[in-house]
Chains A and B, each alone.
Chain A
């Protein structure tokens, strides 16, 4: 099975080889979809983990115990259509083009399949039309 996660590492964990340890211990495969370190030196990693369900769950549990914050991605972000004014403030912030504008009628659309739930669009939306569902 494969599951996608957004993992936020606090400053104290950023320079430790946590992921490779876990991957070895639980025989997981992983695919890094996005990684960055914020100016506050918090690390953010968006990755897909592949392995048995039990091993993925245990790895996630271990990460949480080490102090990482974890969001599971399964269309975590939802667009509340009635609240969207089709302004496009969110569009350039989306790292994976999950938000896009219709070229003809200028309406804004959200593709939940592409979304990696980084949450930038939630901060960018002036009318709170994008929300976390969990």
Chain B
């Protein structure tokens, strides 16, 4: 006995939809019959809030008078270079963009105080941004330079488009070497001094729909405090990784490309990040509703932290050198307790992803749905399945 999206949407409209968060369902399923819960519950909401470096925003500034063409020239936002390969007054600024005069890692570890992620945060927060354009001038776009201040509300479009967000699962980073290392997974102290993870575990969207049965092209989501959509499968999509008995990938696996209107977003859910010794990034808040179409889907949404495993990887050697070696697996229950056993040692853990914020997002999405403000979408297309033959490739070098 299943439900359809149309039936669930009808219930949302009538204010009758039963919505719980992925954390709540994990608790309920420990006590109650799964079959009964699958019949009663219509939607499970998820949430995640962490640095997602493959993020950025398309901007259109409107035309200057006389007209200017950014393409082929140079463009800076608060001194951070943006993409100058599009027509006229369009650009794209990525989270990791760094000012040309930033010392980077010349004095290691660099602090990376301000970059693309911070420009995006400043836009969302309504702050003024310095826009500088240098162009070569054409008959139709004669102007050669612009230097002005802009705000998000002055722009035509501001479209957050993130080619790789929402990793289904992620490495737990450790350092087996004798010196501290500075990574995108945070500061890692020598000789297993700490273990850092980056997932909301039982609240994380793609861990709760491990085969992407409900999430696909066109899925409407919570994105940065506004509504957004799944625009494609994400880059480095890798559905054929090893899975645990419950079907959940025990490593990276699926990713999502996401799109949404930056003007709807809120500064609480879109934040610039400075990762010492690594660079800048963007912290993105994402929430995805999972319609409980059948018992299988409910069972997946209810998998608790203790049954979700992440691989432990040495970021002093195995990660940078792509050895593929892992040091074992730990579950999110252990990771969230603050200590995990790795190579027979009790190691303090830290997270780059905020569980508190993930909870807030899943709760907000739940409120939107029960309040009748948010309807679910039917997938326009499903994404490659584990047995589809879809491959994740390494770079071909040296030819």
Interface of A toward B, CB cutoff 8 Å = 39, 85-93, 101, 105-107, 120, 123-124, 126-128
A127 touches B359 (CB 8 A): no
B348–A89 touching, CB < 8 Å: no
Within 8 A of A (CB), among B341-359: 347-357, 359
B330 beta carbon closer than 8 Å to chain A: no
Evaluate contact between B274 and A91: CB separation under 8 angstroms: no
Pick the interface stretch among B189-197, B290-298, B303-311, B379-387: B189-197
Residue from A39, A87, A93, A120 in contact with B351 in the complex, judged by beta carbons closer than 8 Å:
A87
Q: Which residues of A contact B113 (CB under 8 A)?
A: 128
On whether the beta carbons of A85 and B357 are closer than 8 Å, the reply is: yes
Q: Kindly provide the distance from the CB of A50 to the nearest chain B CB, expressed in whole angstroms.
A: 31
B273 and A106 form a contact (CB under 8 A): no
Q: Please state if B350 and A92 are interface contacts (CB–CB under 8 Å).
A: yes
- Indicate which residue in A88, A101, A106, A124 contacts B187 across the interface (CB closer than 8 Å): A124
- Interface flag for B51 (CB, 8 Å): yes
Interface of chain A: mostly helix, strand, loop or mixed:
loop
Q: How far is the CA of A124 from the CA of B111 in the complex (A)?
A: 10
Does B179 reach chain A (CB closer than 8 Å)? yes
Q: Flag whether B97 is at the interface (Cβ < 8 A).
A: no
Tally of A-B Cβ pairs under 8 angstroms = 77
Report Cα–Cα, A127/B273, bound state, in Å.
5
Instruction: A91 to B275: give the CA distance in the assembly, Å.
Output: 15
Contacts A/B (CB < 8 Å), 18 sampled: A85-B49, A85-B357, A86-B354, A86-B355, A86-B357, A87-B50, A87-B354, A88-B350, A89-B351, A92-B189, A92-B193, A105-B356, A120-B187, A123-B182, A123-B187, A124-B350, A126-B273, A126-B281
Residue with the highest number of chain A CB atoms closer than 10 Å, among B193, B347, B351: B351
Cross-chain contact of A93 among B194, B272, B273, B338 (Cβ < 8 A): B194
How near does chain A come to B180, taking the closest CB pair, in angstroms? 8
A90 cross-chain contacts in B, Cβ below 8 A: 350
